Chains A and B, each alone.
Chain A
């Protein structure tokens, strides 16, 4: 096998040289009139001058650039080939639990827990981390629908919006608290999930995508136009912020506050840090919930439904219930994220729930690797931090963003973590349930 790899490498090295030489010749032919010859103004008369050194540099640059490009492409291809080979040749290694991934997951969790401590005086970092976690949660929610059940949903932001508006209305109109509103909003969004799922039961793939896209737009347009209910384009303002078990984050006053109760000096960053831990908790609960679902028959049925619907029905699985449950649970998780979003912002308007958001959440799931929980975290980091880091590049920001997405898809077509853990393993030789 080693000789085989060596042989292909040598062969491709020669091929690469030849390929680069071809490019250099083309560059030379094009370069002679474009670079090699130029006109100069000499005492009012136009004369042709030559720039051979510049042409030589140009051809050399083309040659080297092409060589490098081929080399990189070949290396990537070769790595993929060896990986595929390893996939079929040593299946056990491929399917064994990957301790490295596990460690990465625990490391990420430890980092997430310690982040506000390390950056307690840097509000911007904690705020951005909170945004990342919102997207992580949305990604995990959509992962149920798209990654596990294989139902392409382009209107996921609708559930995010329904959750946010449900909390906003319950709290501003009826004075409900965050924890009271959370389960109710979850129930409401789950019903919206079923509402979307019911008429689309027979649809799959692109057709389903179109309907979900429409659903997302309908929700947004209703929010814009139903002014009495949603405040229209002005949105809903002064949504109560969550309190710490009834203790508000306020400067000291008549009522007991969080800072006073704990004998701390009041600081606006208390709330920021509290919100961060709140979304971390919600996200972790989401993760536990989804991981647990995957090991239950219903979660396995989602995945089997993604693989082959007819075969599933032939196993006696009620396709309708399985799909509706995926829609409902995915929607519910998106709704929870929406409730948090409304509570954090204190202000919501339909502008926060455009198709762009749906696309980013879907991109997180796809880039992360369909169905991979840790992949969603990595993809959220990339997709939220990249535009943040790119602020210096101003108008090139979105270009950078797009280029990064394309590069990831070329580098890892199955997503950052395409690996899938089996949900059942043998225990010491015998099968365990």
Chain B
């Protein structure tokens, strides 16, 4: 009795084992890719990505992609690097576009120039907006392919413009106009309490990003292409920071102190500020939340227009085998195809990364119905790279601290930026 039972159990185990192995055997030739993916804005991004991956796998049998959602950009970089160091199989990831120097210094990424073989592939690499490629290219080689990208635009409240007698279709095009209109738009009650500010530029979270725009508008870049020198103390930078500070301290069209990145959208939606500078990633939430008519404009100019790009790029890791690298390339090419890019941009509010995506039927129609979606595209001709150097986070921190010290009135622009420059020099001289 006992032995019969044992035999039956053994047979059961065998059947189970075979059943488990069979699909494994039939898929033995599948290439499995693991991709770390940052989710930095709320919303259904993970669902959208999972849907795209599902479609890709259906169209490309033999390649399986697993997305690991790992929090914001910093968290994702940390987790991806930790996985790489532990020898876990990670072949590609979407990481912060400005992490490129750090990823190179860690010696983990492989340039796309080594992956592409055909002319068609090389052409594909040329198909993106040049402004979006800047952060991905070092020494003429392309390490990052733009995907989840954004830029800064100015949102403005058309109802408020009408209320004070300004033309709602003519947003400020220069700094002076912005100050002038801001003065009209700033509304105080009898006791002097501000009910609505003219303009708000957020200064927590990503102050360096906003400053990158101001400096560029004043004709000054913040760093060199090699990412081993910064120009924080350039006169044009000092001037730009003085202007930022003056918006609150002198012209009184903006709140003094720092302005929170996270709550600014809410303040705009509640009419507490008539204009705000913010990421294009906020376009869909603002559209859904605004109870008034709003407009989107390019950032104003001082000497020229300017706005840095931001967001995440595709990277392929060195430790991937040649087959895996090719599979990763296939996947990335599929993900960045014009029609997919168009759909992605409409669903998320991120910019479409290539001109031909805006030529697709779907996106053309969308832009026609909702013109603000095209502002980021039109602004690309003035766009610049986001701040990025070796040891980006640390160098960036020097700048962030200086900006906040000035905006809170603790330091003068020239002094604060000179200190930041000194700090950056100390870190960066090791990389020259």
Is the pairing of A and B real? no
